[in-house]
């Protein structure tokens, strides 16, 4: 694992510096990086997606433990640095670009580079963490539905993320952190918050602490969801006005669902219309989404 001195040297030799616009904060605590790799539980047979490899400190550890690593780096200079250091390896593929195609889809180039079964292990850039994790879970649900639905099955996601996002992923009803990604994660996976990573474990030092999070995709839970897109749409609709009663979604105009279908689905899901979105459990959202998925 690279020390702070080694990371600085690599960047200086390449004429680079950390770029704030890409959320670049390099994990420099070897013990905590070791914990991240340990929690990933790699056996040597997995294909791993790493987003934001930076100077390759975590990448080197993953290559020692996985069958193949697909790394996605948006920074041109860091891509050139990584290519010089690791580009000749047969078990390493470097993709320059954004791992996301917009806010609601993984890049087609990234999906094409992965087999049907993969893991995510990464020190995630703060700017992409929430949509990236959500899309990995959505892709896993699609893969569960069979080849016709597309998707890549991410069996396990192990990553560092700012503590606020970690709280959202594991939050339950009634919590201020509870929101759309909390519901999605609860319905298709098992979230296990790991150790807190203090800001001083990164360089440059961010303003907030981070946390290691592990999410195992749960095929049995996910099979109870009829349509993940219906879930994403209706949960986004609900939490778009989280201070209002849930019945307010029946008065929204121009959405995917008709007012009558929403009202009927609320009743079918046993959801009291006077409840606010953060008071409704993930299971109720599943029933709501399934009712909408089967509505004409």
Same domain, yes or no: 234 and 198: no
What is the rounded CA–CA span in Å between residue 10 and residue 33? 19
Q: What is the DSSP string of 239-279?
A: HTTTTS-GGGGGG--SSSS-HHHHHHHHHHTT--TTS-GGG
The pLDDT tens digits of the residues spanning 216-247 come to 999 999 999 999 999 999 999 999 999 999 99
Question: Which pLDDT does position 74 carry in this prediction?
Answer: 97
pLDDT band for 281, please (50, 70, 90 cuts).
Answer: very high
Same domain, yes or no: 44 and 122: yes
DSSP 66: S
The pLDDT tens digits of the residues spanning 97-135 come to 999 998 889 999 999 999 989 999 999 998 899 999 999
For helices 180-188 and 228-239, give the axis angle rounded to 10 degrees.
Answer: 150
Same domain, yes or no: 29 and 70: yes
The pLDDT tens digits of the residues spanning 13-61 come to 999 999 999 989 999 999 999 999 999 999 999 999 999 999 999 999 9
Whether pLDDT at 1 is above 70: yes
Residues facing 60 on adjacent strands? none
Same domain, yes or no: 243 and 115: no
CA 72 to chain centre: 14
- Tokens for 247, please give them: 């019945």
Residues facing 120 on adjacent strands? 49, 157
Same domain, yes or no: 82 and 215: yes
Q: Write a three-state SS string for 99-164.
A: CECCCCCECHHHHHHCCCEEEEEEECCHHHHHHHHHHHHHHHHHHHCCHHHCCCEEEEEEEEEEHH
Could you tell me how many residues make up the chain? Answer: 296
pLDDT, the chain, mean: 96
For helices 129-144 and 180-188, give the axis angle rounded to 10 degrees.
Answer: 30
Question: Which pLDDT does position 102 carry in this prediction?
Answer: 86
> Which whole-number Å values give the CA distances from 53 to 72, 111, 195, in the listed order?
7, 17, 21
Single out the residue in 223, 254, 279 at which a domain terminates: 223
What is the rounded CA–CA span in Å between residue 156 and residue 82? 25
pLDDT band for 255, please (50, 70, 90 cuts).
Answer: confident
Same domain, yes or no: 196 and 234: no
Q: Which residues contact 158 (CB under 8 A, 6 or more apart)?
A: 36, 39, 40, 41, 119, 120, 121, 212, 213, 214
Q: Which residues contact 276 (CB under 8 A, 6 or more apart)?
A: 242, 243, 244, 245, 246
Single out the residue in 223, 241, 271 at which a domain terminates: 223
Same domain, yes or no: 110 and 176: yes
Structural domain boundaries enclosing 252: 228-294
The pair phi, psi for residue 226, each rounded to 5°, is -75, -35
Same domain, yes or no: 288 and 189: no
171 burial type by CB count under 10 A (0-12 exposed, 13-18 middle, 19+ buried): buried
What is the rounded CA–CA span in Å between residue 42 and residue 38? 8
Q: Number of structural domains, the chain? A: 2
216: CATH: 3.40.50.150
Question: Which pLDDT does position 85 carry in this prediction?
Answer: 96
Question: Which pLDDT does position 254 carry in this prediction?
Answer: 67
Same domain, yes or no: 255 and 277: yes
pLDDT band for 252, please (50, 70, 90 cuts).
Answer: confident
Same domain, yes or no: 218 and 232: no
Whether pLDDT at 147 is above 90: no
Pick from 90, 88, 47: nearest CA to 70: 47
Same domain, yes or no: 27 and 139: yes
Same domain, yes or no: 13 and 79: yes
State pTM to two decimals. Answer: 0.96
Tell me the H-state helices in 171-245. Answer: 180-188, 219-223, 228-239
Single out the residue in 198, 223, 248 at which a domain terminates: 223
> Which whole-number Å values give the CA distances from 21 to 7, 17, 75, 131, 269, in the listed order?
19, 12, 10, 17, 43
241: CATH: 1.10.8.100
């Amino acid at each position: 694992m690279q020390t702070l001195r080694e990371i600085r040297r690599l960047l200086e030799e390449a004429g680079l510096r950390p770029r704030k616009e890409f959320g670049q904060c390099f994990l420099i605590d070897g013990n905590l990086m070791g914990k991240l790799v340990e929690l990933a539980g790699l056996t040597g047979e997995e294909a791993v997606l790493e987003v934001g490899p930076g100077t390759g400190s975590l990448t080197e550890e993953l290559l020692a433990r996985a069958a193949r690593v697909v790394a996605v780096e948006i920074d041109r200079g860091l891509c050139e640095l990584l290519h010089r250091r690791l580009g000749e390896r047969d078990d390493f593929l470097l993709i320059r670009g954004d791992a996301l195609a917009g806010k609601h889809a993984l890049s087609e180039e990234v999906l094409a580079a992965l087999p049907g079964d993969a893991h995510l292990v990464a020190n995630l850039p703060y700017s992409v963490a929430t949509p990236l994790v959500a899309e990995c879970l959505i892709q896993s649900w699609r893969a569960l539905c069979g080849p016709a639905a597309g998707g890549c099955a991410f069996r396990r996601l192990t990553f560092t993320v700012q503590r606020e996002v970690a709280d959202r992923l594991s939050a339950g009803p009634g919590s201020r952190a509870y929101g759309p990604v909390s519901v999605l994660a609860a319905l298709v996976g098992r979230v296990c918050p790991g150790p807190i990573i203090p800001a001083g474990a990164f360089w440059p030092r961010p303003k907030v602490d981070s946390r290691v999070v592990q999410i195992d995709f749960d095929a049995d839970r996910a099979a109870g969801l009829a349509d993940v897109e219906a879930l994403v749409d209706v949960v986004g609709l609900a939490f778009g006005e989280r201070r209002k009663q849930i019945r307010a979604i029946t008065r929204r105009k121009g959405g995917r669902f008709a007012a009558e279908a929403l009202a009927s689905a609320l009743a079918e899901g046993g959801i009291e219309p006077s409840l606010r979105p953060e008071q409704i459990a993930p299971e109720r959202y599943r029933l709501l989404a399934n009712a909408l998925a089967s509505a004409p």
